[in-house]
Amino acid sequence: MVTIAICVGSSCHLKGAYDIIHQCEETISKLGLRDQVELKGTFCLGKCSQEGVTIVIDDEIETGVTPDNFQRIFEEKILVKVRED
């Protein structure tokens, strides 16, 4: 099981956290990964000065997530972990 925690703190909220949550939910559903990926929210991860939204994939922090680069990050960081499990 891969766990994705998306920051919903005030800074990430303003940077589009809910757009990232929506994209993540859609991708997980589309790929049939509900049993393999847990999606949850988290509060501030202390990366507020970075561009984009901050997420945590298992224990790895990923900064700068935007709607434009989300699919690439999902494929490179999350799908790889799903396939390893």
Domain boundaries, given as residue ranges, for the chain: 2-84
> What is the reported pLDDT for 26?
97
Please give the helix or strand (H or E) that residue 37 lies within, else none. strand 37-42
Q: Higher-confidence residue: 54 or 85?
A: 54
pLDDT-based confidence at residue 84 (cuts at 50, 70, 90): confident
Q: pTM (2 decimals)?
A: 0.93
Q: Higher-confidence residue: 85 or 60?
A: 60
Work out the widest C-alpha separation in the chain, in whole angstroms. 34
- Top-tier CATH class for 2-84: alpha beta
What is the Cα 54 distance to its own chain's centre?
7
> What is the reported pLDDT for 55?
98
Three-state secondary-structure class, residue 54 = strand
pLDDT-based confidence at residue 85 (cuts at 50, 70, 90): confident
